[in-house]
Amino acid sequence: MKRREFVNKSFKAGAITAASLSLGKFPNLFAFTPDDFDLVAIKGGEPHTMFDQAIDSIGGMKSFVKKGNTVVVKPNIGWDVVPERAANTNPLLVKRIVEHCFEAGAKDVYVFDHTCDDWNSCYSSSGIERAVKDAGGKIVPGNSERYYEEISVSEGKRLTKAKVHELILESDVFVNVPILKSHSSAELTISMKNLMGIVWDRRYWHRNDLHQCIADFTSYRKPDLNVIDAYYVMRKNGPRGVSKADVVTMKSQIISSDIVAADAAAAKLFGLEPMEIDYMKIANDMNLGEIDLNKLNINRIIL
């Protein structure tokens, strides 16, 4: 598969706050320059308004999407629950990302997930189907093996092959849009874990060292952009959750091209150390991204 190279990192400066401001439990990092960010962390607004500010501060969606591109946006749509339960990505965020892609010149924007519950119910209850259609995108199923093609994971240690959804193989740009939440097997599900929704046989991962398989697959196809939804955050009983009592409202969002850095920042926001999450540590050891936030130039915005 042709892999799209990451965009150059000479981004235009956006509206930023002073370097002394902090976001949740993020560590205090060294002062940043206003023209080159590895990661954006924003809090205090609605999902769509936070994305507007965050993406503008790194040059806009046009830094990732070019005129005529085909884009696939992959939220978490795995569960038949309403947005307030925080099991799925917030539909307001998904809608705004699709709109930004078209504004940047995208020809087509596709959205899908290989859901856990019935896919029709998940797409409807999550609010994501309506949001995508309202934005002019195309929401498509991931419920049949016929949509998937087998690929080799050359750097994989436990996962050496997988069947991947054809949209991932054919798209010019891949935008990964997970929600931050607890997970009974992986402890946290964020950007790397969200990639399980683009493969057919997820059960293999659970039977063969889940954490290693998550890192292995990340070595195959890194998204061009990761947008982590932390507006509503499921603190316990993930990935499906039990009730709204499991959820806290954080009104936060993290954006980065570096999937490991994005997950590391989200782990910090959740209150955990990235190196305590096995798949993050493994991904770091495999040199798949930067886990040490102190090495990153972070734009932290508070609305």
**HEC profile of 141-156:** CCCCHHHEEEEECCCC
The rounded distance, in Å, linking the Cα atoms of 206 and 197 is: 13
Domain span at residue 179 reads 39-302
* Helix or strand holding residue 204 (H, E): helix 203-207
The 10 Å Cβ neighbour count of residue 109 is: 26
Per the structure, how many domains does the chain have?
1
| Helices then strands, each counted (H, E), the chain | 10, 12
| Cα–Cα dist 143/146, whole Å | 9
Residue 253 belongs to some domain of the structure: yes
Any domain includes 157 = yes
Confidence (pLDDT) at 23: 41
As a whole number, the mean pLDDT across the chain is 90
Per-residue pLDDT, averaged over 46-51, amounts to 98
pLDDT at 3 over 70: no
Query: Above 80 in pLDDT, residue 232?
Result: yes
Residue 139 lies inside a defined structural domain of this protein = yes
Question: Given this model, what pLDDT does residue 118 score?
Answer: 97
pLDDT at 16 over 60: no
Which residues lie below 8 Å from residue 205, measured CB to CB, with a gap of 6+?
159, 196, 213, 214, 217
The whole-number average pLDDT for the span 80-91 is: 97
Tell whether omega for the bond before 239 is within 30 degrees of 0, i.e. cis.
yes
Residues 6+ apart with CB under 8 A from 202: 114, 196
Q: What is the pLDDT of residue 36?
A: 86
**Inside any domain, residue 59:** yes
Q: Is 17 contained in some domain?
A: no
Question: CA 270 to CA 181: how far, in whole Å?
Answer: 8
Can you tell me the mean pLDDT for 281-287? 98
Alpha carbons 163 and 40: distance in angstroms, whole number: 32
Q: What is the distance, to the nearest Å, from the Cα of residue 42 to the centroid of all Cα atoms in its chain?
A: 15
Average pLDDT for 12-33:
36
Q: Average pLDDT for residues 52-64, to the nearest whole number?
A: 97
Classify residue 129: in a domain, yes or no: yes
CA distance 88 to 96: 16
The confidence band for 245, taking pLDDT boundaries of 50, 70 and 90, is very high
Contact between 88 and 77 (Cβ < 8 Å): yes
Q: What is the pLDDT of residues 169-192, one digit of tens each?
A: 999 999 999 999 999 999 999 999
Domain of 298: which CATH number? 3.40.50.11440
What is the 8-class DSSP label of residue 145? G
Residue 7 lies in a domain: no
Contacts of 120 (CB under 8 A, 6+ apart): none
Confidence of residue 34 (pLDDT cuts 50, 70, 90): very low
Give the pLDDT confidence score for residue 160 in this predicted structure. Answer: 98
Establish if 124 belongs to a structural domain.
Answer: yes
Cα-based distances in Å from 255 to 193, 237, 267: 16, 25, 13
Taking residues 112-120, report their average pLDDT: 97
- Start-to-end CA distance of the chain, whole Å, equals 40
CB 80 within 8 A of CB 118: yes
Q: How confident is the model at residue 197 (pLDDT cuts 50, 70, 90)?
A: very high
Residue at token pair 């042709």: 2
Mean of the pLDDT values across residues 116-133?
98
In this predicted structure, the answer to whether residue 33 has a pLDDT above a threshold of 50 is no
Structure tokens at 49: 């308004």
User: H helices within 65-153, ranges in order?
Assistant: 91-103, 119-125, 128-134
